[in-house]
C-alpha cells in the first residue's frame, strides 16, 4: 500500500494515504509561504461569515475559551488523506474512534472522555440519528475542518453524553476562484474522483460545489464500499448587513462494507485453530447489503441588526433512507471454528428538521467587554423502522463458504421478532451565555433549559409498542481563563450535561434524565510556532439505570454511577513552511462506581487507559 498525493498550491509535495492525485484547473491558491508567527497561530480562521466556534457559538478564538476543544484543520485533513470523520479524529486526544474496527464505515461513533456518543454535528446542527442504523455521515471531501468539543456540552446543545461532541465544519463559498480535480487509485482496488470549485458569480453571489465518487474493496473478503456525494452551496449578500446561505448535501452509499463481528477467540484471544486472518468475515455475500441515501437542505441567515447586535438563523431539513441485510452471531461451538448465526434485515426512513436562532451582542461595560448570546433551538425527527429476523446456517470461520444464504430459505415469520414501528423525537431549548473579556481575564457563564419528548409506536419484536417520554432539564456551565503575555493561558471550568432516560421503576415512577458533571483544569499555549492544550478532568455521570435489588431481574432503578477522569495533551508545532508535527496523548481512568448488576469496579466498554499518536 504505497503512493502519494500530489497537491498543487504552495509548490510542495505532501505525502498522503495510498493515492496518486492530480489537482488542476485555474488554481488561485496562494504561493506565498505560510506566516508562522504567534499572531497567526492565535487566530482561528474559517472563511465563512456564518461560522461560529463550536465551544461558544460566537466568533472568538478557541484560545480564549475556558474549556478544552481540539481543532483538526483542513490542511491537517488533507495531509492525513482523511476520507471520513472517523479517520479525521484519529490524531486527537481524548477520543477513541472506529469503535467497531476500521472495517466498519457506515457509522461514525466515538468514545469521548470515557462516554460513547453517536450524536455528531454539522455546521452547528445535529445530524439527526434514529438510534438504529440510519446515521447521516459527511464525506471528507466536503469537510473544511473538524472540532472536538470535550466535556459536557448541554448548556449550548441540549441532550448529549457527558464526554463531549464532534462538530463538522463544511467547505463554504469563497470570493477568490479556486478549482481542483483529484483522481486517486490505490490498493484494495480503490478508485476515486473528487472535485472542488468555488468563486464569485457576481458582486453579490459566491458559490461552491464539492463532489466525490469512490469505489473500493472493503477489508473483509467479498465486501465492497461505494459512495457518491455532491454538495453545492451559495452565498447571497442580500445587503451590506445581511448574508443568506443556501446549501445542499446529497450522499448515496450503495455499498458500505460489513457490520458483522468476529469472536474473541482467534482475534484477541488464542484459538486452538490458530489466529483468524485480517480479512476474515463471518457474514454471507448473498445477505450483505447496506444502501443508504441522505439529503440535507440547509439555510443560514446572518444579519447585522446594529453596531452591537447580530442575528443568525441556521436551519436544516433532512430526508434519509437505509436498507440493510446482515447477519449476527449467536455463539462459537466447542471446536472454536463453527459460528452459529442469524440473518436479519432493517428498512429505515427518517425525516427531520433542526434549527438554531442566535442573537449575539458585543456590549462594553467599563473595561469589560461582554459577548452576549441568546438562543432558541428546535429539532424534530420521525423515523419509520421495519425489522425482520430469522435462523440461518452456521459458518466455518477457518474454511468459510460465504454464499450459503438465500432469501427463500429465511423464515422471518417463525422468529416472532417482526417489527414495524415509528420513533419520534422532539427537543426545544432556550439558552443564555455571556463571555466576558476584562483585561487578561476571560469569564464564561451559560444556562440552558430543554424540553425533550419522544415516542415509539407500532409493532416491535412481535409485540405492541406504545411508549411516551417527556422530560425537562436545566443545565449550566461556568469557566475562567487568564491570558499571560507569554502565550500561556491557564483555565478552569465546571459543566453539566443530561441525557433522556426512558422507562420506569417497579412502582411506575418515570425515570429522570441521567446527569453528568465535569470539573476541568487546563492550560493553553500559543506562540513560538506552537499551539498546545493540556487538560485534566473528572466527569461523573449519575442516575444510570441498574438492577433493582428488591425487584425481579427485569426491574431497574436509577442509582448507577460512572466516573471518568484523565489527562490530555494536544500539541501542534510548525517546524517550517512545509512541515508540522502533531502530538496527542491521553491517560484516563474510567470506572463503573455504583451498580447492582455486577459491573461495579469495571471499566466501561471501548475505553482505553492510554492513547498516543504522532503525525509528522
pLDDT digits (tens, 9 = 90+) for 461-484: 999 999 999 999 999 999 999 999
- Looking at the domain assignment, is residue 25 inside a domain? no
- Looking at the domain assignment, is residue 14 inside a domain? no
pLDDT tens-place string over residues 396-442:
999 999 999 999 999 999 999 999 999 999 999 999 999 999 999 99
- Looking at the domain assignment, is residue 342 inside a domain? yes
**Domain range holding 324?**
178-615
Residue scoring higher pLDDT (27 or 383): 383
Residue 608: predicted pLDDT: 93
| The pLDDT of residue 101 is above 90 | no
Residue scoring higher pLDDT (76 or 384): 384
> Among residues 234, 372, 244, 237, which one has the least CA distance to residue 310?
372
In the numeric block, the cell 510542495 is attached to 12
> Among residues 162, 130, 166, which one has the least CA distance to residue 54?
166
Residue 130, Cβ density class (10 Å: 0-12 exposed, 13-18 middle, ≥19 buried): buried
Residue 482 near residue 505, CB atoms below 8 Å:
no
Q: Could you give the percent of the chain with pLDDT greater than 90? A: 79
- Range in 28-32, 108-112, 320-324, 379-383 with the lowest mean pLDDT: 28-32
Confidence bin at 46 (pLDDT 50/70/90): low
- Looking at the domain assignment, is residue 44 inside a domain? no
Confidence bin at 47 (pLDDT 50/70/90): low
Instruction: Look at phi and psi of residue 243 and say left if phi exceeds 0, alpha if psi is from -120 to 50, else beta.
Output: beta
CA 439 to each of CA 57, 67, 443, 501: distance values in angstroms, whole numbers, following the listed order = 22, 19, 11, 43
Provide the CATH number for the domain around residue 407. Answer: 2.40.170.20
- Looking at the domain assignment, is residue 360 inside a domain? yes
- Looking at the domain assignment, is residue 162 inside a domain? no
> Among residues 582, 605, 576, which one has the least CA distance to residue 592?
605
Residue 93 near residue 570, CB atoms below 8 Å:
yes
3-state secondary structure of 155: helix
Mean pLDDT of the region 199-206: 96
Residue 388: predicted pLDDT: 96
Distance CA 216, CA 471 (A): 45
> Among residues 571, 482, 488, 558, which one has the least CA distance to residue 527?
488
What is the residue-averaged pLDDT of the chain? 90
Residue 180: predicted pLDDT: 96
Distance CA 144, CA 3 (A): 24
Distance CA 51, CA 372 (A): 17
Within 13 Å and on the Cβ side, how many CA atoms surround 56?
Answer: 25
- Looking at the domain assignment, is residue 108 inside a domain? no
Residue 220 near residue 280, CB atoms below 8 Å:
yes
Distance CA 339, CA 262 (A): 9
> In the chain, how many domains are there?
1
pLDDT tens-place string over residues 259-314:
888 999 999 999 999 999 988 999 999 999 999 999 999 999 999 999 999 999 99
**DSSP states of 508-558 as a string?**
-PBPPPEEEEEEEEEEEEEETTEEEEEEEEEEEEEEEEEE-TTS-TT-EEE
- Looking at the domain assignment, is residue 167 inside a domain? no
| The pLDDT of residue 88 is above 70 | yes
CA 356 to each of CA 135, 252, 351, 446, 616: distance values in angstroms, whole numbers, following the listed order = 20, 27, 18, 16, 38
Amino acid at each position: 500500500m504505497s503512493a502519494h498525493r500530489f497537491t498543487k498550491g504552495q509548490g510542495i509535495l505532501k505525502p498522503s494515504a495510498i493515492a496518486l492525485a492530480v489537482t488542476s484547473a485555474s488554481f488561485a491558491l496562494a504561493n506565498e509561504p505560510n506566516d508562522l508567527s504567534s499572531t497567526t497561530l492565535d487566530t482561528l480562521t474559517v472563511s465563512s461569515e456564518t461560522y461560529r466556534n463550536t465551544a461558544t457559538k460566537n466568533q472568538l478564538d478557541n484560545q480564549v475559551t475556558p474549556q478544552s476543544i481540539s481543532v483538526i484543520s483542513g490542511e491537517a485533513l488533507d495531509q492525513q488523506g482523511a476520507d471520513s470523520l472517523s479517520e479525521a479524529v484519529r490524531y486527537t486526544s481524548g477520543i477513541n474512534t472506529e469503535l467497531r474496527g476500521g472495517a466498519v464505515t457506515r457509522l461514525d461513533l466515538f468514545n469521548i472522555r470515557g462516554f460513547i456518543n453517536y450524536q455528531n454535528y454539522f455546521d452547528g446542527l445535529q445530524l439527526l440519528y434514529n438510534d438504529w442504523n440510519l446515521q447521516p455521515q459527511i464525506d471528507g471531501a466536503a469537510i473544511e475542518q473538524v472540532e472536538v468539543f470535550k466535556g459536557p456540552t448541554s448548556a449550548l446543545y441540549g441532550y448529549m453524553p457527558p464526554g463531549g461532541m464532534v462538530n463538522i465544519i463544511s467547505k463554504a463559498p469563497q470570493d477568490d476562484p479556486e478549482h481542483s480535480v483529484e483522481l486517486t487509485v490505490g490498493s484494495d482496488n480503490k478508485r476515486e474522483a473528487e472535485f472542488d470549485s468555488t468563486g464569485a458569480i457576481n458582486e453579490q453571489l459566491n458559490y461552491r460545489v464539492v463532489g466525490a465518487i469512490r469505489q473500493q474493496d472493503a477489508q473483509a473478503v467479498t465486501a465492497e464500499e461505494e459512495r457518491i456525494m455532491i454538495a453545492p452551496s451559495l452565498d447571497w449578500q442580500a445587503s451590506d448587513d445581511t448574508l443568506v446561505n443556501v446549501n445542499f448535501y446529497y450522499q448515496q452509499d450503495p455499498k458500505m462494507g460489513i457490520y458483522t463481528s468476529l469472536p474473541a477467540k482467534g482475534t484477541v484471544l488464542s484459538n486452538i485453530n490458530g489466529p483468524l486472518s485480517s480479512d476474515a468475515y463471518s457474514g454471507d455475500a448473498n445477505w450483505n447489503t447496506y444502501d443508504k441515501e441522505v439529503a440535507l437542505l440547509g439555510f443560514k441567515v446572518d444579519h447585522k441588526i446594529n453596531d452591537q447586535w447580530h442575528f443568525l438563523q441556521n436551519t436544516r431539513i433532512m430526508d434519509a433512507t437505509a436498507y440493510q441485510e446482515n447477519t449476527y452471531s449467536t455463539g462459537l461451538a466447542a471446536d472454536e471454528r463453527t459460528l452459529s448465526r442469524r440473518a436479519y434485515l432493517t428498512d429505515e426512513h427518517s425525516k427531520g428538521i433542526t434549527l438554531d436562532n442566535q442573537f449575539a451582542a458585543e456590549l462594553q461595560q467599563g473595561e469589560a467587554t461582554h459577548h452576549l448570546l441568546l438562543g432558541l433551538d428546535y429539532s424534530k425527527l420521525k423515523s419509520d423502522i421495519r425489522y425482520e429476523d430469522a435462523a440461518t446456517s452456521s459458518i466455518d470461520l477457518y474454511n468459510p463458504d460465504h454464499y450459503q444464504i438465500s432469501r427463500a430459505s429465511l423464515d422471518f415469520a417463525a422468529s416472532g421478532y417482526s417489527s414495524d414501528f415509528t420513533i419520534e423525537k422532539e427537543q426545544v431549548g432556550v439558552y443564555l451565555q455571556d463571555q466576558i473579556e476584562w483585561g487578561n481575564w476571560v469569564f464564561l457563564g451559560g444556562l440552558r433549559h430543554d424540553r425533550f419528548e419522544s415516542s415509539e409506536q407500532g409493532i416491535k419484536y412481535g409485540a405492541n409498542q406504545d411508549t411516551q417520554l417527556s422530560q425537562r432539564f436545566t443545565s449550566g456551565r461556568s469557566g475562567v481563563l487568564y491570558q499571560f503575555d507569554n502565550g500561556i493561558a491557564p483555565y478552569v471550568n465546571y459543566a453539566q450535561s443530561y441525557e433522556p432516560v426512558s422507562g420506569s421503576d417497579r412502582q411506575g415512577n418515570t425515570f429522570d434524565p441521567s446527569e453528568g458533571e465535569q470539573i476541568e483544569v487546563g492550560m493553553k499555549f500559543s506562540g513560538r510556532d506552537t499551539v498546545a492544550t493540556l487538560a485534566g478532568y473528572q466527569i461523573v455521570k449519575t442516575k444510570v439505570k441498574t438492577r433493582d435489588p428488591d425487584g425481579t431481574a427485569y426491574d431497574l432503578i436509577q442509582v448507577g454511577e460512572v466516573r471518568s477522569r484523565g489527562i490530555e495533551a494536544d500539541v501542534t508545532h510548525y517546524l517550517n513552511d512545509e512541515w508540522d508535527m502533531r502530538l496527542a496523548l491521553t491517560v484516563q481512568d474510567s470506572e463503573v462506581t455504583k451498580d447492582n448488576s455486577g459491573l461495579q469496579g469495571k471499566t466501561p466498554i471501548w475505553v482505553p487507559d492510554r492513547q498516543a499518536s504522532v503525525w509528522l
